[in-house]
């Protein structure tokens, strides 16, 4: 059976070159980077090389990069650390309604700690209106966080425009770039943001490693106390192999980015266009044009995402879904609901995220496999039989 | 994605008794799309026994497997026996369901019960008219 992995938003595979770059630190160069001997020196050099590679990917300075244990940790550090460092100035924080839970829930924790939180809405494509951000700003606003792109619906946000507004008001602006850094060009100077999160497993690096970039001069309160690793901003012995892998992945992403985008975009556009022409009552979620290069997302009406996912899996196709049934919390995706979709439609969420291993034949296979699966589930669905009876009755 | 056991997977991949019954003796519908799952059961009764049971289900893998199992357990049983089918006995027959799926997706017994009640209430009305 053909195997087609289309869940790169969950994690990309590890590139062989990245694995090679990690191996020495799982082997002979096992030292602790804080140690002052030869073993420590090798590990420390690995981290500093990776720091430069990551900085180059986003056009930043090396000493502005803080390595973390994940994108989630980078977001936690940004939201809590940037807000706490400025609490003498004010206690109001602004985030968008479609942020990843690591941003949204961090902001809600701040609320419990006495901060006030404003959530900026999105339109039907999941786009934040910069003017809504402007309206949400107050005298005591200390932090705004709007993601660079949403991993669930693929929409790219107008971060540059929002940064102009926050700069005029002298408010610190963080963007969660986990879905974009290493995937599309990200230049912190051009974007005009003050802090940015990224994660290794989104661009063919290892899992369990991320980074937060914080512009020089911006204060941040560490969340982990301990030694002076990462200039005292993130204590704890570094995950040296993972950091080395992240660095290598960043270097490769920078050199190969244009080619990867060129490869993924036509595959994405074909699936976006052809699947709704093969299956009736399918809604594209997210922005039709301003979206991530490998990102295709739909809601299929009258059926539920988990059962679709399981049947696709039985045919060798790996996807994900934002339906209530697939989430551990058993709640429909907050992103789809914020975009104004009903719970019923959101239940049919399905997400194909392409990667550099995908070829045209993979898309052919999905286009051939998906319609009978949808048909099978619709034949089983009481919602579909109600719909067909109602539309027949109408005629 | 929750890990389903082989028996659940079998009932999900090859669900028994999917469909509708024309002119059913009873219909029971539970759940709604907001909570995630929705099931409709149709029954045909002859001599106080469930001669036929069919269902339609909107929901996750567990919801479909539960519906299929309930239909299989109920078919041929007397109404009194069928009413004794519970979410627990269905889950046991399926050799277990993931914890978080037990409550939200295990609505099959309830839907069947509603269909039997529907049949019994219709019968009462009919009986009343005959008198």
Give the confidence band of A312 by pLDDT, cuts at 50, 70, 90.
Answer: very high
Task: List the one residue out of B128, B130, B125 whose CA is nearest residue B26.
Answer: B125
Is pLDDT above 70 for A233? Answer: yes
- Cα atoms found within 13 Å of the Cα of residue B25, Cβ hemisphere only: 21
Instruction: Report the DSSP pairing between strands A282-284 and A295-300.
Output: antiparallel
Task: Say what angle helices A240-278 and A38-57 make with each other, to 10 degrees.
Answer: 30
Q: Concatenate the DSSP letters of all residues of A184-233 into one string.
A: B---HHHHT-SEEEEEGGGTTS-SS-EEEEE-TT-----SS-SS-GGGGT
CA A316 remoteness from chain centre: 25
Please answer yes or no on whether A307 and B1 come within 8 Å at the CB atom.
no
User: How confident is the model over A330-362, as pLDDT tens digits?
Assistant: 778 999 999 999 999 999 999 999 999 999 999
Cα–Cα distance measured from residue A292 to residue A281, given in angstroms and rounded to the nearest whole number:
23
Q: Give the best residue of A329, A380, A383, A387 to mutate against chain B (max B CB count within 10 A).
A: A380
Supply the mean pLDDT for chain A.
96
Of the candidates B38, B39, B64, the beta carbon closest to that of A307 is on: B64
Using only the alpha carbons of chain A, give its radius of gyration: 22
How close A61 gets to chain B, by Cα (Å)? 40
Task: Say whether the ipTM exceeds 0.85.
Answer: yes
Using only the alpha carbons of chain B, give its radius of gyration: 15
- Of A322 and A76, the one with more pLDDT: A76
Quick check: pTM over 0.90? yes
Cα–Cα distance measured from residue A12 to residue A18, given in angstroms and rounded to the nearest whole number:
12
Give the confidence band of A143 by pLDDT, cuts at 50, 70, 90.
Answer: very high
Annotated active-site residue in A23, A26, A228, A325? A325
- Which pLDDT does position B1 carry in this prediction? 47
Check: CB of residue B70 under 8 Å from CB of residue B84: no
In A, minimum Cα distance to B31 occurs at A382
Q: Is B60 a catalytic residue?
A: no
- Which pLDDT does position A328 carry in this prediction? 66
Tally the residues of chain B: 131
Give the confidence band of B101 by pLDDT, cuts at 50, 70, 90.
Answer: confident
Give the confidence band of A395 by pLDDT, cuts at 50, 70, 90.
Answer: very low
Task: List the one residue out of A378, A146, A180, A149 whose CA is nearest residue A279.
Answer: A378
Give the confidence band of A176 by pLDDT, cuts at 50, 70, 90.
Answer: very high
Annotated active-site residue in B18, B27, B79, B104? B104
Please answer yes or no on whether A347 and B36 come within 8 Å at the CB atom.
yes
Q: Is A379 on the interface with B (CB under 8 A)?
A: yes
Of the candidates B1, B38, B39, the beta carbon closest to that of A306 is on: B1
Cα–Cα distance measured from residue A297 to residue A9, given in angstroms and rounded to the nearest whole number:
11
Check: CB of residue B79 under 8 Å from CB of residue B111: no
Please answer yes or no on whether A383 and B64 come within 8 Å at the CB atom.
no
Cα–Cα distance measured from residue A292 to residue B108, given in angstroms and rounded to the nearest whole number:
41
Q: Which residues of chain B are within 8 Å of residue A330 when distances are taken between CB atoms? A: 36, 100, 104
In B, minimum Cα distance to A313 occurs at B1
- Of B7 and B131, the one with more pLDDT: B7
Q: Which residues of chain B are within 8 Å of residue A309 when distances are taken between CB atoms? A: 1
User: DSSP class of residue A23?
Assistant: G
Inter-chain Cβ pairs, chain A and chain B, closer than 8 A: 75
Is pLDDT above 70 for A394? Answer: no
> Span A81-85, mean pLDDT?
98
Q: Could you count the other beta carbons within 10 Å of the beta carbon of residue B17?
A: 18
- Which conformational region is residue A100 in: left (phi greater than 0), alpha (psi within -120 to 50 degrees), or beta? beta
CA A293 remoteness from chain centre: 13
User: DSSP class of residue B49?
Assistant: E
Q: Which residues of chain B are within 8 Å of residue A347 when distances are taken between CB atoms? A: 33, 36, 58
Q: Is A302 on the interface with B (CB under 8 A)?
A: yes
Q: Is B90 helix (H, G, I), strand (E, B) or coil?
A: helix
């Amino acid at each position: 059976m053909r195997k087609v992995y289309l869940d790169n938003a969950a994690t990309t595979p590890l590139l062989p070159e990245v694995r090679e770059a990690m191996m020495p630190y799982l082997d002979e160069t096992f030292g602790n980077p804080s140690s002052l001997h030869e073993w420590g020196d090798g590990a420390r050099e690995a981290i500093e090389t990776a720091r430069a590679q990551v900085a180059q990917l986003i056009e930043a300075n090396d000493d502005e990069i803080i390595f973390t244990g994940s994108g989630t940790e980078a977001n936690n550090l940004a939201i809590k650390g940037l807000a706490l460092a400025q609490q003498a100035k004010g206690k109001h924080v602004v985030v968008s309604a479609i942020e990843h839970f690591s941003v949204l829930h961090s902001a809600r924790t701040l609320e419990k700690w006495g901060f006030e939180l404003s959530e900026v809405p999105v339109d039907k494509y999941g786009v934040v209106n910069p003017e809504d951000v402007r309206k949400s700003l107050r005298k005591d606003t200390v932090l705004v966080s709007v993601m660079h792109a949403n991993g669930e619906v693929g929409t790219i946000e107008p971060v540059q425009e929002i940064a102009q507004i926050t700069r005029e008001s002298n408010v610190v602006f963080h963007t969660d770039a986990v879905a974009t850094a290493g995937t599309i060009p990200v230049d912190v100077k051009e974007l005009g943001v003050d802090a940015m999160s990224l994660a290794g497993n989104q661009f063919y690096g290892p899992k369990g490693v991320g980074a937060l970039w914080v512009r020089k001069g911006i204060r941040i309160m560490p969340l982990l106390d301990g030694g002076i690793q990462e200039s005292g901003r993130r204590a704890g012995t570094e995950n040296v192999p993972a950091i080395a892998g992240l660095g290598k992945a960043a270097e490769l992403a920078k050199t190969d980015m244009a080619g990867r985008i060129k490869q993924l975009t036509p595959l994405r556009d074909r699936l976006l266009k052809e699947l709704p022409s093969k299956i009736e009552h399918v809604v594209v979620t997210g922005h039709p044009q301003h979206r991530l290069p490998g990102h295709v997302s739909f809601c299929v009406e009258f059926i539920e995402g988990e059962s679709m996912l399981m049947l696709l899996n039985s045919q060798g196709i790996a996807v994900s879904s934002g339906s209530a049934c697939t989430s551990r919390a058993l709640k429909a995706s907050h992103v789809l609901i914020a975009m104004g979709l009903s719970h019923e439609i959101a239940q049919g969420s399905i997400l194909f995220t392409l990667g550099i291993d995908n070829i045209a034949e993979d898309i052919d296979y999905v286009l051939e496999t998906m319609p009978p699966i949808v048909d099978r589930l619709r034949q089983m669905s009481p919602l579909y039989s109600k719909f067909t009876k109602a539309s027949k009755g109408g005629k | 994605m929750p890990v389903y056991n082989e028996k659940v997977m079998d009932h999900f991949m090859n669900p028994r008794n999917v469909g509708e019954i024309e002119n059913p003796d009873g219909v029971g519908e539970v759940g709604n799309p907001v909570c995630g799952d929705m099931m409709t059961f149709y029954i045909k009764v002859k001599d106080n026994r469930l001669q036929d049971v069919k269902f339609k289900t909107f929901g996750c893998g567990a919801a479909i497997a539960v519906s299929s199992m309930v239909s299989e357990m109920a078919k041929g049983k007397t109404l009194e026996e069928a009413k004794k089918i519970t979410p627990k006995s269905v889950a046991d027959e399926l050799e277990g369901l993931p914890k978080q799926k037990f409550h939200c997706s295990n609505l099959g017994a309830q839907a069947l019960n509603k269909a039997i009640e529907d049949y019994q209430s219709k019968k009462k009305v009919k009986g009343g008219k005959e008198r």
